[in-house]
Amino acid sequence: MFIGRDPVTGKPQQITRTYSADRKERGAGKRTAEKKLAALVAAVERGEYGGTKATFGSLLDEWTAHSERMGRSPKTLYEYRRKIDKSIRPDLGATRLDKLTAHDLDKLYARQLAGGLSPSTVLMHHRIIGAALKQGRKWGWVDRNVAEDATPPSARKPEITVPSPEQVRALITEATRPAAKNPELATIVLLAAITGMRRGELCGLQWRDVEWENAAILVARSVWQTPDGIGTKSPKPHQTRRLLLGEQAMVVLRARQARAVDDATVAGVALSPDSFIFSSDPDGSRPLLPDSISQAFDRLCRRLELPALTELHKSNPKATRTDLAPGEQWPFRFHDLRHYTATQLFADGMNPKTVADRLGHADASVTLRVYTANTTAQAQAAADSLEAGLGVAALAL
């Protein structure tokens, strides 16, 4: 019996059933077979047969290919494929799509948690699975998204570590010392703190992006890096942005340009408008890599911890940086400079839309969810304002 075509492969699907009866039951056997055939036809019409023989792994492959066609960044695609190949495909890749259940997903999440994965990592796997199944439903590969009925673990929102203005100044000062062995690191740290730019966006800056007369800079591209290679990408439309800069930033950029021109002259090459502002090449033909910035910033933080750690070693030679007192630790990542930008702007009374525009968020609600808007200073100001409205009435209580 023809029961339709596979919704994924398009191949025709048939089912065959054989009914037999003894010679003594020829008449009755025929009637029994006819009843069973009628029941089979009714079951087919109810959708109990058919479906697809395609596997969940094939959907994951097509979903990642679709994500690439839709313009997902190489870095994002690399992370999708890495998580799928390492943690999803080995368990569920061979499962037929029409047999996949929410219970299968919940068992996968339980195994991953028992194996030591964090709730946030398992939740990320759930989001990948859900996104693939959602797209599969749109394509007609599955009737419903079973991930919607699964129960992934809850993940606590990570606490954001934000350096203070004094700590940012200390980072810039330390980066200017000869021990840093990276004369441009101080410039990068300063620009990150006052613009909120991501490391890839900083790496992607070219000299043609600087508006010297208007004291502004255009964020028009970002450098991506994976183990497979590097490249540049255009930010999403809402992330391409023009940032106004202050006097200090322009002084720093002019100093950087002067050094770049000197390096190019010594090497016998010339800078062009397309030269990258931050580059290890005299002609600025190749950008710095995002990972190199993170590594240099981490070494910077470790040097700032060194005096306290050296002192601690006098009493405890086996001590590590985790044994330092909280005030002696420098637990920051380069991305925390972006948090600093947002937090300082909120503390200065800037509205969420202004902060979102500077950071390149399309929706100000994203900014409010991610960054610390309610600073201690604002909380104290709110308390003082409420009490001021009551005057001395509370003193009579």
**Per-residue pLDDT tens over the stretch 271-301:** 999 999 999 999 999 999 999 999 999 999 9
Within the chain, strands assigned E span: 2-5, 12-14, 210-211, 216-219, 222-226, 229-233, 241-244
**Range 165-300 classified under CATH 1.10.443.10:** yes
Mean pLDDT to the nearest integer, 179-191: 84
Query: What span, in angstroms and rounded, lies between the C-alpha atoms of 57 and 95?
Result: 8
pLDDT above 80: residue 258? yes
Q: Residue 187 — very low, low, confident or very high, per pLDDT cuts 50/70/90?
A: very high
Tell me where in the chain the CATH 1.10.443.10 domain(s) lie.
165-300
CA distances from 3 to 48, 96, 126, 162, 168 (A): 10, 18, 33, 61, 68
More confident site: 49 or 334:
334
Query: What span, in angstroms and rounded, lies between the C-alpha atoms of 256 and 390?
Result: 54
Exposed, middle or buried, 385 (CB in 10 Å: 0-12/13-18/19+)? exposed
pLDDT of residue 272: 96
Tell me where in the chain the CATH 1.10.150.130 domain(s) lie.
56-149
pLDDT of residue 25: 53
Mean pLDDT to the nearest integer, 330-348: 93
pLDDT of residue 45: 57
**pLDDT, tens digit, 9 for 90 and up, residues 25-78:** 555 666 666 666 666 566 555 555 555 678 999 999 999 999 999 989 899 999
pLDDT above 70: residue 198? yes
pLDDT of residue 340: 93
CA distances from 285 to 18, 92, 210, 256 (A): 73, 45, 17, 16
Task: Look over the chain and give the mean of its residue pLDDT values, rounded to a whole number.
Answer: 86
Q: Residue 202 — very low, low, confident or very high, per pLDDT cuts 50/70/90?
A: very high
Query: What span, in angstroms and rounded, lies between the C-alpha atoms of 149 and 91?
Result: 19
Q: Residue 181 — very low, low, confident or very high, per pLDDT cuts 50/70/90?
A: low
Query: What span, in angstroms and rounded, lies between the C-alpha atoms of 25 and 302?
Result: 90
- Helix, coil or strand: residue 65: helix
**Range 56-149 classified under CATH 1.10.150.130:** yes
Mean pLDDT to the nearest integer, 231-257: 88
The pTM of this model reads 0.78
